[in-house]
A and B are shown apart, each in its own frame.
Chain A
Amino acid sequence: MPKCKIADVVFDLEPEYAYFNERLTEFLYVGEETPEYSVFSDDVSIEKERKKYSLPENLPAPLIEDLFFERKVSDYILEKKNGTLFHGSAIEYGGGAYVFTARSGTGKSTHAGLWRELLGDRVKMINDDKPIVRIIDGKPVIYGTPWKGKHGLGGNIKAPVKAICRLVQAKENSIREVSVKEFLPTFFVQCYHVEDRKRKENFLEFLDGLLSGVKLFELKCDISKAAAELSFTAMTGDKL
Chain B
Amino acid sequence: MKIKSGYLIREVAGTYLVVAVGKRAKEFGGMINLNETAATLWKELEKGATEEELTARLLEEYEVDEKTAKDNVKDFIKKLSDANLLTGVENK
A and B: interacting chains:
yes
Contacts from A to B (Cβ < 8 Å): 179-181, 184-185, 188-189, 195-197, 200-201, 204-205, 207-208, 210-212
Q: Which of A184, A195, A201 contacts B10 (CB 8 A)?
A: A201
Interface residues in chain B, defined as those with a beta carbon under 8 Å from any beta carbon in chain A: 8, 10-15, 17, 19-22, 25-26, 30-31, 33
Contacts A184-B33, A185-B31, A200-B8 given: A211-B22 contact, CB under 8 Å?
A: no
Q: List 12 A-B contacts (CB under 8 A).
A: A184-B12, A184-B31, A184-B33, A195-B26, A196-B21, A200-B8, A200-B19, A201-B10, A204-B10, A204-B19, A208-B10, A212-B13
In Å, the complex CA distance between A204 and B12 comes to 7
B11 nearest CB neighbor, chain A only: A208
Inter-chain contact count A-B, CB under 8 Å? 52
Residues of B within 8 A of A196 (CB): 21-22
Interface SS majority for chain A = helix
Which residue in chain B gives the minimum CB-CB distance to A210?
B13
Give complex CA distance A210, B25 in Å: 23
Known: A195-B21, A197-B8, A197-B22. A180 touches B31 (CB 8 A): no
Give the docked Cα–Cα distance between A197 and B23 (Å): 10
